[in-house]
């Protein structure tokens, strides 16, 4: 079976206990009233600042003893790369991260600080990815996929399990979607426990790859525009085996939010809730700011991470203070 089942989520929750936190489910006072309750699932509290630690840890800890000896490789510069480097470091497994010459020095230092070897190669992310694939074939290093993998999806699904354990009567869960590993895992867990829960996916207008693929009926390539939600960039891969079908079957709807809505949500989170969010996490809040009262309550909004450039963050929140 390449597609995970709920039993795989349960197994993941035990396996990743040492590496990933059970994150808080924080009531939002500003978005709730007596007849409507909203909660934030704070994945920004994870040690590396995003939920990606769950999937990466589940995958790495599931490797055989022989595979662990060989080590792992990835080419991601973002939250997935950080998660793989951190999980491999804690588990004492060799980790190589392939980066192109375009990656800035501070990112290289951050990845090295997590204990990974850095292999600088080529002039683009594509070349770095090809390098990771080649070294995986020639040296037997294990590639850790960012989303389209049974163990990665099951790891992200532990978020859904935690939400249902703490709030069994939840009616709506809002989850950001890029490659779809998170939304696939969360809806698998939630709908296995209660099929009537409404799962809303949300993508940025800059790169709604999953939504356009669902409309086309198969995975398609989508051009990517620059976005404050950089963690929602990238396609779902034309060879997608798992997340496309799971999201088609389990997610009720995918909404698309604009850059202006993402920026407003980052501002709202900081001024009204004292939370630091990166753009991808703000996508989940942007849906609430658009139609909070229309969503069946209780509502849980998954705030996926806080890895935003601090200087950029200060500029955004200085621009405008949402009305109290
Ligand atoms: C990766 C990521 C997402 C999207 O997750 P997918 O599994 O690719 O859909 C959302 N938010 C943050 C912060 C991420 O790092």
Pocket test of ligand 1: the residue of 232, 279, 287, 301 to mutate, having most ligand atoms within 8 Å of its CB, is: 232
Other Cβ atoms less than 10 A from the Cβ of 165: the count is 12
Q: CA torsion 76→60→192→7, rounded to 10°?
A: 160
- DSSP secondary structure letter of residue 74: E
Distance 304 CA to ligand 1 centre (A): 7
Ligand 1 pocket check: which of 41, 49, 79 to mutate, most ligand atoms within 8 Å of Cβ? 79
One pLDDT digit (tens) per residue for the chain, 324 residues: 799 999 999 999 999 999 999 999 999 999 999 999 999 999 999 999 999 999 999 999 999 999 999 999 999 878 999 999 999 999 999 999 999 888 888 888 888 999 999 999 998 888 988 999 999 999 999 999 999 999 999 999 999 999 999 999 999 999 999 999 999 999 999 999 999 999 999 999 999 999 999 999 999 999 888 899 999 988 899 999 999 999 999 999 999 999 999 999 999 999 999 999 999 999 999 999 999 999 999 999 999 999 999 999 999 999 988 876
Say yes or no: CB of residue 304 within 6 Å of ligand 1. Answer: yes
Q: What is the gyration radius of the CA atoms in the chain, in angstroms?
A: 19
Q: What is the pTM of this model?
A: 0.96
As given in the structure block, the two tokens for residue 8 are 């795989």
Structure-block tokens of residue 278 = 């990166």
Alpha helix (H) residue ranges in 167-258: 181-193, 209-216, 243-250
Give the residue from 45, 58, 112 showing the smallest Cα distance to 85: 112
Which two three-digit tokens encode residue 292?
Answer: 């909070």
Strand partners, 301: 40, 174
Q: Exposure of 199 by Cβ count < 10 A (0-12 exposed, 13-18 middle, 19+ buried)?
A: buried
């Amino acid at each position: 079976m390449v597609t995970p089942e709920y039993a795989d989520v349960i197994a993941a929750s035990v396996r990743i206990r040492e590496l990933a936190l059970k994150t808080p489910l924080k009531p939002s006072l500003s978005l709730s009233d007596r007849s409507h309750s909203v909660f934030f699932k704070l994945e920004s509290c994870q040690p590396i600042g995003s939920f990606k630690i769950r999937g990466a840890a589940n995958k790495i800890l599931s490797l055989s003893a022989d595979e662990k000896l060989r080590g792992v490789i990835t080419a991601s510069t973002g939250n997935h790369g950080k998660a793989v480097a951190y999980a491999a470091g804690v588990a004492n497994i060799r980790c190589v991260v392939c980066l192109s010459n375009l990656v800035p020095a501070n990112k290289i230092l951050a990845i090295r600080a997590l204990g990974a070897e850095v292999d600088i190669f080529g002039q683009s992310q594509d070349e770095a990815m090809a390098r990771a694939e080649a070294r995986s074939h020639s040296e037997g290093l294990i590639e850790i996929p960012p989303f389209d993998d049974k163990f990665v999806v099951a790891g992200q699904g532990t978020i859904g399990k935690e939400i249902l354990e703490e709030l069994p009567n939840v009616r709506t869960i809002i989850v950001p979607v890029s490659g779809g590993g998170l939304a696939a895992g969360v809806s698998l867990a939630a709908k296995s426990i209660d099929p009537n829960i409404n799962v809303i996916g949300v993508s940025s207008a800059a790169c709604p790859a999953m939504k356009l693929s669902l409309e086309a009926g198969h995975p398609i390539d989508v051009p990517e525009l620059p976005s404050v939600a950089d963690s929602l960039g990238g396609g779902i891969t034309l060879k997608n085996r798992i997340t496309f079908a799971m999201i088609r079957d389990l997610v009720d709807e995918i909404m698309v939010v604009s850059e202006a809505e993402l920026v407003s949500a980052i501002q709202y989170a900081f001024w009204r809730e004292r939370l630091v969010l990166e753009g991808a996490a703000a996508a989940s809040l942007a849906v609430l700011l658009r139609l909070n009262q229309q969503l069946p309550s209780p509502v849980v909004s998954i705030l996926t991470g806080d890895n935003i450039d601090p200087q950029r963050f200060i500029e955004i929140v200085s621009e405008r203070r949402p009305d109290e």
